[in-house]
């Protein structure tokens, strides 16, 4: 982490030796610290390092360069830090009084140093009983001081050991917190266990530690850890499982070992149920334990819900629909009527359709009709933005799936919810919108909390991008053919969104969109660089004509390249919210920046994908105002939860709507030029779509319906084919 953009002061690497005099800042994640250093001759300087803060009074040796910070002035930016125990009486006293040694305050520290001088630490370490010579220290206090001192020494030893073996000392505190005095032994005897048990340490870091300890490349423990790591990488790409041959190939390439060695270990791991294997249509597929159980349990729970639910108003459900039409002066299309009737008769129903096909009208009618029958109805969607849209469209309260399940946060890498098989949801009907965004793990958690006999209705657009997480739940539900499904195809919405809706459906059928020059336009650009310039110009023009930066959204298919999310965000920030003396800035953020939350935070009630604007900022914290006028405060160590949002990926935009959508389509993005991605982006717009790029890239996107296969067997399990 960096406070702000720095200016080079002196590029020549230097070394500093001094005593830590004051801790200015220490990040909670142990990845950045700022402290005052007392140098020889008693002069002082400010130092920064991407490591946990040292302790007061400790002697540190730093390697790095001098820089001039535009706000905080001259400081030493260290790239390496070696910590030693303090040697001067002043340093020892500062160290003991810093609060890190249990049982010692400033007054006690002064008395101890007055009694033992520079031998103080030696006394504590080797003859701690002598501490009782100091007024106010009895045998129990002496024991407490000694134990606390040894813990600090152990932490220092771990940090030094890691640094000596090419691993940042920032991991030391996490390892020590988990294993205590057994930390060094654990790193030497089973370093790969760290990847499973210590937050923030993955396979690559564990592998570095293992190599430093002399572990063989083809050791069974290393290969087993490599297999699990590869399965995690596969899950991050949307797959629940992978063909055995592909897994072996990927693992062998990553680890640099022979295929036969991996096959032997994989066979053992399957036998021990540390991974799972399923044979399907002549192909052997490998699962991680979490995704195997998620898929199996999801299928089992859906079958139970299908069979346990009793029909609602079994005698004449069609009459209920007709009565609702009469009362609301609405005539439902036959497909819409079919969907409502199906929801009354069946335990599990799927409603799918593109924009403008009347899904919301169907949901409203379901809520009204079922509510009149005295049924308790819960509405939810995967994201806060989608839940808010659902509530506004139906007039009924809606929550995120996480909130409905009363999420408790993560523990051991897995989400935990208060609502589960032991404490189920109190509802007769559960309606979930934007189901295409739900991955298999979240679906498992949802279904485990739904009481058998409850009617559950899944609503979504099967033609949109699949969930970011593993699985393809909505498509698998449809593919299974097990549940009643109604696909809405008739387009009703023809107001100011008419052209957008029609073009979205055209794209979905493989036809080129029609450009009107107003609500749906195309701006030519021969390269990614030119497209980036055009997008900047378009944004500036929109703002000049009264548009808010919050009402328009640039979406990009990729993170890299000139038109990628990262580069465009920096470009638009510089142009739309430039750095200035009266515009506070910290850690790459500025007052007025459009930002997005990138992880769920249940304490702050903000969730992955929520977009807001920074309304206040200083050196230690910032405040973001979200679209519902809720202000959320972030301290420095929480800044990692935010990213600039002038531009976001198409995936991140799912479940949201914006007045204007701007989308680059350039040949540099050829990997991501797919029909469902273009369709998803276009359907995010309420009033205007602006495509920027070249027509060849547009044609490629419209023509390419070969969406990447996701390895999942949910449909097969639902159909009981495996």
Each residue of 193-225: pLDDT tens digit? 888 888 778 898 889 888 888 889 999 999 999
Asked if 247 contacts 276 with a C-beta cutoff of 8 angstroms, the reply is no
Top pLDDT among 285 and 499 is at 285
Tens digit of pLDDT for each residue in 236-279?
A: 889 999 999 999 999 999 999 999 999 999 999 999 999 999 99
User: Which percentage of the chain shows pLDDT scores above 70?
Assistant: 93
**pLDDT, position 435:** 95
DSSP E strands: which ranges in 505-548? 520-524
| Residues in contact with 486: Cβ distance below 8 Å, sequence separation at least 6, in sequence order | 335, 338, 339, 342, 349, 350, 351, 352
pLDDT at position 494 is 55
Burial of residue 23 (number of CB atoms within 10 Å: 0-12, 13-18, 19+): middle
Least confident of 301-305, 314-318, 424-428: 314-318
353: three-class secondary structure by DSSP: strand
Strand bridging mode 59-69 / 7-26: antiparallel
**Model confidence, pTM:** 0.77
Q: Residue 8: phi, psi to the nearest 5? A: -60, 130
Residue 160 confidence (pLDDT): 67
Please determine, for residue 432, whether its predicted confidence score (pLDDT) is greater than 50. Answer: yes
98: number of Cβ within 10 Å: 17
Q: Are 607 and 400 in contact (CB under 8 A)?
A: yes
Whether the per-residue pLDDT at 145 is higher than 80: the answer is: yes
């Amino acid at each position: 982490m960096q406070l702000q953009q720095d200016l080079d002061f002196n590029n020549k690497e230097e070394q500093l030796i001094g005593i830590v005099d004051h801790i200015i800042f220490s990040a909670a994640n142990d990845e950045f610290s700022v402290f005052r250093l007392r140098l020889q001759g008693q002069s002082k300087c400010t130092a920064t390092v991407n490591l946990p803060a040292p302790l007061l009074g400790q002697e540190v040796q730093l390697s790095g360069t001098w820089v001039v910070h535009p706000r905080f002035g001259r400081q030493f930016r260290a790239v390496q830090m070696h910590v030693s125990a303090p040697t001067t009486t002043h340093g020892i006293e500062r160290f003991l009084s810093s609060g890190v040694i249990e049982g010692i305050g400033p007054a006690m520290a002064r008395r101890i140093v007055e009694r033992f001088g520079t031998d103080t630490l030696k006394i504590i370490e080797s003859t701690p009983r002598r501490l009782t010579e100091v007024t106010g220290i009895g045998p129990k206090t002496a024991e407490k001081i000694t134990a606390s001192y040894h813990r600090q020494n152990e932490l220092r030893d771990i940090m030094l050991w890691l640094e000596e073996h090419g691993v940042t000392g920032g991991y030391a505190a996490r390892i020590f917190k988990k294993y205590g005095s057994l930390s060094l032994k654990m790193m030497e005897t089973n370093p790969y266990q760290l990847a499973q048990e210590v937050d923030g340490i993955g396979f690559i870091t564990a592998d570095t530690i293992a190599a430093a300890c002399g572990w063989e490349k083809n050791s069974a423990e290393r290969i087993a850890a490599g297999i699990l790591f590869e399965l995690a990488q596969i899950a991050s790409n949307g797959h629940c499982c992978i063909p055995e041959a592909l897994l072996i190939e990927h693992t062998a390439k990553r680890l640099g070992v022979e295929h036969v060695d991996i096959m032997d270990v994989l066979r053992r791991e399957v036998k021990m149920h540390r991974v799972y294997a399923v044979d399907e249509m002549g192909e052997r597929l490998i699962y991680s334990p979490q995704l195997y159980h998620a898929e199996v349990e999801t299928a089992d729970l859906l079958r139970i819900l299908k069979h346990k639910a009793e029909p609602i108003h079994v005698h004449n459900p069609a009459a209920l629909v007709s009565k609702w039409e009469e009362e609301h002066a609405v005539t439902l299309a036959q497909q819409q009527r079919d969907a409502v009737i199906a929801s009354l008769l069946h335990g599990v129903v799927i409603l799918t359709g593109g924009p403008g096909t009347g899904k919301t009208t169907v949901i409203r009618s379901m809520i009204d009709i079922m509510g009149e029958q005295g049924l308790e109805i819960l509405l939810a969607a995967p994201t806060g933005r989608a839940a808010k849209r659902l509530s506004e469209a139906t007039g009924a309260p809606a929550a995120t799936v996480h909130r409905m399940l009363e999420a408790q946060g993560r523990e051991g890498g897995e989400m935990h919810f208060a609502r589960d098989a032991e404490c189920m949801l109190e509802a007769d009907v559960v309606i979930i919108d934007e189901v295409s965004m739900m991955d298999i793990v979240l679906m498992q958690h949802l279904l485990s909390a739904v009481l058998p006999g409850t009617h559950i209705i899944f609503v979504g657009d099967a033609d949109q991008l699949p969930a970011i997480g593993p699985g393809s739940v909505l498509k698998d539900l449809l593919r299974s053919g097990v549940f009643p499904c109604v696909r809405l195809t008739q387009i009703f919405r023809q107001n100011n969104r008419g052209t957008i809706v029609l073009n979205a459906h055209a794209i979905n059928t493989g036809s080129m969109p029609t450009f009107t020059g107003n609500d749906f336009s195309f701006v030519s650009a021969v390269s990614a660089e030119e497209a980036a310039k055009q997008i900047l110009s378009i944004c500036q023009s929109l703002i000049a004509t009264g548009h808010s930066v919050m009402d328009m959204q640039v979406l990009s298919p990729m993170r890299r390249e000139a038109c990628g999310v990262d580069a465009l965000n920096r470009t638009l920030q510089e142009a739309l919210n430039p750095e200035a003396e009266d515009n506070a800035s910290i850690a790459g953020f500025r007052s007025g920046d459009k930002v997005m939350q990138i992880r769920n935070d249940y304490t702050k009630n903000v969730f992955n994908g929520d977009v807001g604007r920074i309304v206040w900022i200083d050196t230690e914290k910032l405040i973001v105002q979200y679209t519902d006028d809720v202000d959320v405060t972030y301290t420095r160590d929480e800044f990692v939860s935010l990213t600039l949002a002038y531009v976001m990926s198409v995936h991140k935009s799912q479940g949201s709507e914006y007045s204007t959508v701007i989308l680059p389509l350039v040949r540099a993005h050829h990997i991501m030029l797919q029909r469902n991605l273009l369709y998803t982006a276009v359907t995010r717009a309420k009033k205007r779509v602006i495509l920027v790029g070249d027509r060849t890239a547009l044609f490629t996107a419209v023509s390419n319906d070969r969406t990447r296969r996701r390895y999942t067997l949910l449909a097969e399990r639902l159909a009981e084919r495996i």
